[in-house]
Structure 1
Amino acid sequence: MTELIGWFEDIGIEDVPKVGGKNASLGEMYRELVPEGVAVPPGFAVTADAYRYFLEETGVGERIYEILEGLDTHDIAELRKRGQKIRHTITRAEFPKDLQQAIVDAYDQLSEEAGFELDVAVRSSATAEDLPESSFAGQQESYLNVQGHAALLHTCKLCYASLFTDRAISYRVDRGFDHRQVALSVGVQQMVRSDLASAGVAFSIDTESGFEDAVFINASYGLGESVVKGTVNPDEYYVFKPTLKEGFEPILEKNLGSKEFKLVYAQGGTRSTRPVPVGRHDRQRYALSDEDILIVARWVAIIEDHYTEKAGKPMPMDVEWAKDGRTGELFIVQARPETVQSQKRRDVLETYRLTGDEGPGEALVTGRAIGAKIVSGPVQLVSSIEEIEEFEEGSILVTSTTDPDWEPIMKKAAAIVTDRGGRTSHAAIVSREMGVPAIVGTIDGSQRLEDGRTVTISCAEGEEGKVYDGQLKYEVETVDLRGLERPETKIMMNVANPSEAFRLSRIPNDGVGLAREEFIINSFIGIHPLALLNFDAIEDEELKDEIAQRTVQYEDKAEFFVDRLAQGIAMIGAGFYPNDVIVRLSDFKSNEYAALLGGELFEPTENNPMLGFRGASRYYDERYKDAFALECRALKKVRDEMGLRNVKVMVPFCRTVEEGRKVQEVMAEHGLKRGENGLEIYVMCEIPSNVILAEKFAEIFDGFSIGSNDLTQLTLGVDRDSEIIAHLFDERDEAVKEMVHEVIERAHKHGRKVGICGQAPSDYPEFARFLVDEGIDSISLNPDVVLKTTLDILEAEKG
Structure 2
Amino acid sequence: MKTPALVLDFDRIGMGDVALVGGKNASLGEMYQHLADAGVRVPGGFAITAAAYRHVLDEAKAWTDLEATFEGLDPEDVADLSHRAARARQIVYDAGLPEDLRAQVLAAYRSLRERYGEDVRLAVRSSATAEDLPDASFAGQHDTYLDVAGEAGLLDAVRRCFASLFTDRGIHYRHRHGYDQLAVALSVGVMRMVRSDLASSGVMFTIDTESGLPDVVFTTASWGLGENVVQGAVDPDEFYVHKPTYEQGFRAVLRRRLGEKAIRMVAAGRSGTRNEQTPDEDRQRFCISDEEVLELAGAAIAIERRYGQPMDIEWAKDGLDGRIYVVQARPETATSRVTTLQRFHVGEHGRTLVEGRAVGDRVAVGRVRVVRDAQHLAEFRPGEVLVSATTTPDWEPVMKTAAAVVTDRGGRTCHAAIVARELGLPAVVGTDAGTTALVDGAEVTVSCAEGETGRVYAGAAAIEVEEIELTDLPRPRTRLMVNLGNPDLAFRTAMLPSDGVGLARMEFIINEAIKVHPLALLHPERVEDVGERLRIQAMLDQYDDGAAYFVQRLAEGIGTIAAAFHPRPVVVRMSDFKTNEYANLVGGRWFEPAEENPMLGFRGASRYAHQAYAEGFELECRAMRRVREEMGLTNVILMLPFVRRLAEADLVLARMAELGLERGKDGLQVYAMCEIPNNVLLVDEFAERFDGLSIGSNDLTQLTLGVDRDSATVAFDYDERDPGVKKMIRLAVEGCRRNGIHSGLCGQAPSDYPDMAEFLVDLGIDSMSLNPDSLVRTTQTVLAAEERLKG
**Same structural fold, with TM-score higher than 0.5 when normalized by the shorter chain:** yes
2:302 maps to 302
Counterparts of 1:783 and 1:700, CA distance in 2: 30
Q: Does 1:44 align with 2:46?
A: yes
Counterparts of 2:368 and 2:719, CA distance in 1: 47
State whether residues 219 and 288 of structure 1, in contact with CA within 8 Å, keep that contact through their aligned partners in structure 2: yes
Secondary structure of the 1:179 match is coil
Counterparts of 2:519 and 2:231, CA distance in 1: 43
Equivalent of 1:254 in 242, 245, 256: 256
Q: Does 1:330 align with 2:324?
A: yes
The alpha carbon displacement at 1:791 in A equals 1.1
State whether residues 108 and 117 of structure 1, in contact with CA within 8 Å, keep that contact through their aligned partners in structure 2: no
- Provide, for residues 340-394 of structure 1, a one-character-per-residue CA deviation record: whole Å limited to 9, x for no partner: 01223x2x22121124xxx214311111111122111110000001111111111
2:341 maps to 349
- Pairing of 1:684-695 with structure 2 (within 5 A): 684-695=673-684
- Pairing of 1:47-66 with structure 2 (within 5 A): 47-66=49-68
State whether residues 350 and 460 of structure 2, in contact with CA within 8 Å, keep that contact through their aligned partners in structure 1: no
Counterparts of 2:470 and 2:41, CA distance in 1: 41
1:273 maps to 273
Counterparts of 2:471 and 2:47, CA distance in 1: 46
Q: Does 1:492 align with 2:481?
A: yes
Letter in 1 for 2:414: S
Counterparts of 2:102 and 2:306, CA distance in 1: 35
- Pairing of 1:431-450 with structure 2 (within 5 A): 431-450=420-439
Equivalent of 2:230 in 228, 231, 234: 228
Q: Which moved more, 1:378-387 or 1:788-797?
A: 788-797
Counterparts of 1:336 and 1:481, CA distance in 2: 26
Counterparts of 1:7 and 1:61, CA distance in 2: 28
Counterparts of 1:664 and 1:408, CA distance in 2: 62
- Provide, for residues 747-786 of structure 1, a one-character-per-residue CA deviation record: whole Å limited to 9, x for no partner: 2111111100011111111111111111111011111111
Letter in 1 for 2:513: F
Instruction: Give the TM-score normalised by structure 1.
Output: 0.97
The alpha carbon displacement at 1:282 in A equals 1.2
- Provide, for residues 416-468 of structure 1, a one-character-per-residue CA deviation record: whole Å limited to 9, x for no partner: 10011111111100011111111111111111001111111111112211111
The alpha carbon displacement at 1:94 in A equals 2.5
Equivalent of 1:643 in 632, 638, 655: 632
1:319 maps to 313
1:135 maps to 137
The alpha carbon displacement at 1:585 in A equals 0.3
Q: Does 1:666 align with 2:666?
A: no
The alpha carbon displacement at 1:722 in A equals 1.1
- Pairing of 1:601-616 with structure 2 (within 5 A): 601-616=590-605
Counterparts of 2:107 and 2:205, CA distance in 1: 36
Equivalent of 2:464 in 475, 481, 492: 475
1:311 maps to none
- Pairing of 1:136-175 with structure 2 (within 5 A): 136-175=138-177
1:312 maps to none
Secondary structure of the 1:244 match is helix
- Provide, for residues 708-754 of structure 1, a one-character-per-residue CA deviation record: whole Å limited to 9, x for no partner: 11111111111111111111111111111111111111221111111
- Pairing of 1:16-27 with structure 2 (within 5 A): 16-27=18-29
Counterparts of 1:225 and 1:600, CA distance in 2: 47
State whether residues 19 and 47 of structure 1, in contact with CA within 8 Å, keep that contact through their aligned partners in structure 2: yes
- Provide, for residues 116-147 of structure 1, a one-character-per-residue CA deviation record: whole Å limited to 9, x for no partner: 33101000000000001101010001111001
State whether residues 745 and 768 of structure 2, in contact with CA within 8 Å, keep that contact through their aligned partners in structure 1: yes
Equivalent of 2:709 in 698, 720, 729: 720
Give me the identity figure in percent.
54
Counterparts of 1:36 and 1:304, CA distance in 2: 12
State whether residues 350 and 459 of structure 2, in contact with CA within 8 Å, keep that contact through their aligned partners in structure 1: no
2:289 maps to 289
The alpha carbon displacement at 1:482 in A equals 3.9
Change (3 A) 1:412 1:483: closer
Counterparts of 2:665 and 2:118, CA distance in 1: 57
Q: CA RMSD in A?
A: 1.1
State whether residues 594 and 602 of structure 1, in contact with CA within 8 Å, keep that contact through their aligned partners in structure 2: yes
Equivalent of 2:621 in 608, 629, 632: 632
1:582 maps to 571
State whether residues 555 and 624 of structure 2, in contact with CA within 8 Å, keep that contact through their aligned partners in structure 1: yes
Q: Which moved more, 1:37-46 or 1:587-596?
A: 37-46
Counterparts of 2:438 and 2:391, CA distance in 1: 17
The alpha carbon displacement at 1:61 in A equals 2.8
The alpha carbon displacement at 1:92 in A equals 2.7
Q: Which moved more, 1:476-485 or 1:762-771?
A: 476-485
Secondary structure of the 2:270 match is coil
State whether residues 350 and 461 of structure 2, in contact with CA within 8 Å, keep that contact through their aligned partners in structure 1: no
Letter in 1 for 2:146: L
The alpha carbon displacement at 1:21 in A equals 0.2
- Pairing of 1:643-792 with structure 2 (within 5 A): 643-792=632-781
Q: Does 1:190 align with 2:192?
A: yes
1:591 maps to 580
State whether residues 398 and 445 of structure 1, in contact with CA within 8 Å, keep that contact through their aligned partners in structure 2: yes
Secondary structure of the 1:243 match is helix
Counterparts of 1:236 and 1:68, CA distance in 2: 42
The alpha carbon displacement at 1:499 in A equals 1.0
- Provide, for residues 47-96 of structure 1, a one-character-per-residue CA deviation record: whole Å limited to 9, x for no partner: 11111101111122322222111111111111111111221222233311
Q: Which moved more, 1:242-251 or 1:219-228?
A: 242-251
Equivalent of 1:391 in 369, 380, 385: 380
Q: Structure 1 unaligned runs (5+)?
A: 309-314
Secondary structure of the 1:128 match is coil
The alpha carbon displacement at 1:481 in A equals 4.0
The alpha carbon displacement at 1:250 in A equals 3.7
Counterparts of 1:540 and 1:725, CA distance in 2: 38
Letter in 2 for 1:353: H
Secondary structure of the 1:328 match is coil
- Provide, for residues 206-245 of structure 1, a one-character-per-residue CA deviation record: whole Å limited to 9, x for no partner: 1100001011111000001100111001011111100001
Counterparts of 1:777 and 1:638, CA distance in 2: 26
Q: Which moved more, 1:608-617 or 1:527-536?
A: 527-536
1:73 maps to 75
Counterparts of 2:516 and 2:401, CA distance in 1: 45
The alpha carbon displacement at 1:672 in A equals 0.9
State whether residues 687 and 711 of structure 1, in contact with CA within 8 Å, keep that contact through their aligned partners in structure 2: yes
Counterparts of 1:703 and 1:381, CA distance in 2: 56
1:242 maps to 244
Letter in 2 for 1:385: A
Letter in 1 for 2:314: E
Equivalent of 1:206 in 180, 185, 208: 208
Letter in 2 for 1:330: I
Q: Does 1:179 align with 2:173?
A: no
Letter in 2 for 1:701: F
1:411 maps to 400
The alpha carbon displacement at 1:496 in A equals 1.6
Counterparts of 1:61 and 1:215, CA distance in 2: 44
Instruction: Give the TM-score normalised by structure 2.
Output: 0.98
Q: Does 1:113 align with 2:115?
A: yes
Counterparts of 1:572 and 1:124, CA distance in 2: 40
Letter in 2 for 1:303: I
1:370 maps to 359
Counterparts of 1:509 and 1:94, CA distance in 2: 60
Counterparts of 1:550 and 1:567, CA distance in 2: 16
The alpha carbon displacement at 1:325 in A equals 1.2
The alpha carbon displacement at 1:2 in A equals 3.1
